[in-house]
Structure 1
Amino acid sequence: MNRLRNVAWGRVATIAVVVVCLGYAPIAMTELWPYAHPGAPAFGQWVLARVVSPRYVADAFATRIGPYGRSLVPLIVHSVLGGLLMVLGPVQLLSAVRRRRRLHRISGVVFTLTVYVSMAGAAVYLARTRPADAFGGSAFWIMLATILVGTVLSATFGILAALGRYPDLHQRWMLLCYGYLMTAPLLRLEWGALPWLLPGLSMAQINQVAIMHLGSVVVFGALLASRAIDRRESVPGVRGSWVPLPVLAVAQSAGAAALGWIIRSYWGWGTEGRRLLFAYLIPYALTYAVLMVRQWRAGRAGAGWAREEWRLHLVALAAAPVFSVGTAQLFERQLGLDARTALSAGVGIGCGVLAFTATAVVGLRVMYGRELLRRRAPGAGRPADLSVALNHQLREQS
């Protein structure tokens, strides 16, 4: 037990992310070659055929020829640049950790421009593809569109935070942006791993299982990374809490009611519904438990800022089922989806959208606190002065 406690888990996580990203980069860049030139090598398909079976890969390939063929050039742009983003992400992370400012800024500009162009290619594909023709159906199409919007907005807010000299907010938005991008390599890992746990499923069915928790997993990872970097116990100008216990209790009560509705709905849809339900509940429960414990420990340690951020994300997670149920009703009525597909779409995007909202609220907390300081001491509270102080504080605790 003591050995486990002494392990530098932050370093282990960083190495794991770098390995996954660099391993996925060539897969992303070659993934669509066979659609442009039949028989062309594709590293990812070669690996999957040996990990699962050649038939598993061939069946999935056959269903994609039509939908991908209508948007092949934009998709190739998206996938090749997506592979480049997998390389640029670790460069951004390591250059920030090692304080290589010039390299960090240059690679940051390249990273952001690449995000915009890559997501533009994905947007063209989604616009030309009927939701029902997506690789996993309409729920998967809706999740892809939501990830696209979240990625672009996160990158944009990250740029604005950097220009406004909010380095702490910049790092949060860029980590969230990269979290959304990590859905791609994690999905490929599930293509290889889930057939061993759930034999007999096609790759499209694996996609339906994966969307139940991928959004939750990646935004949780981004939050853990943000909190690992920002070890401050307080933030200038931030006092009290926007999430007192009554607010937390109301959010949890509403979330529990919505979660009960989700459980009852999926349970009534037989074996497939229960499979999707457990794919959602297990990661959700683990994330909820970690956030609850972390905010409690931060409160006991007197780390007010850490407790506030954990609580904001805890409220967002609790409210995610409410959002999912509401959007499911909207998708069912406005898009004409069946009840199970509509609910799967709502569940698939719920945690990601609410985590984005929580990150925005964290940013508002920081900006509001600094504005209070500026008004109280105009000479000493200029944005530039606050930025210098914040940079010094972050360097001391990183």
Structure 2
Amino acid sequence: MYGHRKNISDVRTPDRFSYPPSPSPSSYSTSSGKSTSGRSRVRGAARSVAGVFVACFTPPEEDTHHHSSSVYGGVSDTFSSTSDFSGASDSTDGRKRGTARGIYGTRNDSTHMKEPGSVKFTIAEIHYATKNFALALKVGQGGFGTVYKGQLQDGTLVAVKRAKKIMYDNSIGGEFQSEIQALSKVEHLNLVKCYGYLQHGEERIIVVEYVPNGTLREHLDCIKGDVLSFASRLDIAIDVAHAITYLHTYTDHPIIHRDIKSSNILLTEKLRAKVADFGFARLAADVESGQTHVSTQVKGTAGYLDPEYLRTYQLTEKSDVYSFGILLVELVTGRRPIEAKRELKERVTARWAMKKFTDGFAISVLDPKLEKSEANGLAIEKILELALQCVHSHRRNRPIMRRCAEVLWNIRKDYKELLD
């Protein structure tokens, strides 16, 4: 009824596969009509889409272990290992650098600082803000440590991330430095703002913007607030796309987040999205010097990990694009990337959703808490079409994040027109 297609009889789900050539980003259909040639190529590419997700959940055997990480202390399964170094390859991922910041250079007002991450707090200021780390102000717990809600002397509400003292090893120290370095370079409406840090004696503390309305995952689970409308989910997807585009394109040196997931996306009271937790962030390869990727041990979260990165240890901005594709599926289905308690064919959410999409039943994967309307049916088809491109097994065939944002803008425009 909504976006129904002729069934594809030869769809199969092998353990390993290779995609046929992927349509270019310019072939996306963003109007209410359908693009026959674009859709046929997408169908062809999707016929064996499941294999990519099998690889995604099989981490490399060497030097890889689970690590808990979260934006405000929530626990999740993340792959983490040490020893990062730069490298080059024989292929090139093009990147277009820009100097005009536009919407990606939006600066947040702050009464406490002039530059992001520039303040070196004293322990006395931290004790004042958290009332000596009062248990009543504890808002989260995770692999990095404990997170407290605090208030600076000028009234600014903050989240104070205090590392566990027993975990001051090379890994935690590296994550602390990575987060400080990354946060000190960025400022954008859809990124959690960093106010400063403290590194004194045994204390490792990061002070960031306090975002009061919980994580996207909590909202999808209805732990926080009412059911997120389809329109709100589309707005959130666009906010996240803008944030990642800024990191990849408009910073002084491109930054790869490496842990894009729903529990790392905070929502304001007006449901604006802010990407958080830069503990795994890395500077991207220096294209001007001829590098095309960063060679590094794998870090990230099960379910969102780029299989090509898992296989080759070669990190590029396209690894964030892959994670974003998984996030898009999560937004429209409401399901987590891995649903261990479901029947086998539905356990890997993206594989299940893409199979339904290519069979012509995209509307059937819509979060059951949402209405199966014509507008929702047409929009979900286009979102899944974009998600399919983002999770392509080869990074060279994935769109850049700026293109993702453009496609989502057009989807939202068409969606609003159908509602009017």
TM-score bucket (shorter structure)? 0.3 to 0.5
**TM-score, normalising length from structure 1?**
0.33
Flag the structure with more relative contact order, 1 or 2, with Cα contacts below 8 A and sequence separation at least 6: 2
> Which structure shows the bigger proportion of residues in helix conformation?
1
Instruction: Name the structure with the higher strand share.
Output: 2
TM-score under structure 2 length normalisation: 0.32
